[in-house]
């Protein structure tokens, strides 16, 4: 159960993806939801970034 949650919340850590391009949307607060769109996800710092 914890592993599934980890993969959903932090897929870039689970699969070793590189996340660097900032999201153009205004979703800067870690508390707000960052819907997955065009490869963008939250990184471990809480920033919405593109993962390749």
Question: Per residue in 1-31, pLDDT tens?
Answer: 555 554 555 554 545 556 666 666 665 555 5
C-alpha distances in angstroms, 50 versus 2, 25, 47? Answer: 24, 12, 10
pLDDT over threshold 60, residue 37: yes
Predicted confidence at residue 28, as pLDDT, reads 55
Predicted confidence at residue 10, as pLDDT, reads 58
The pLDDT of 24-46, averaged and rounded, is: 66
Predicted confidence at residue 44, as pLDDT, reads 78
């Amino acid at each position: 159960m914890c592993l599934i949650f980890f993969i959903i919340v932090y897929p870039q850590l689970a699969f070793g993806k590189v996340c660097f391009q900032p999201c153009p949307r205004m979703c800067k607060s870690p508390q707000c939801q960052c819907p997955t769109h065009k490869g963008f996800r939250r990184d471990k710092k809480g920033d919405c970034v593109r993962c390749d």
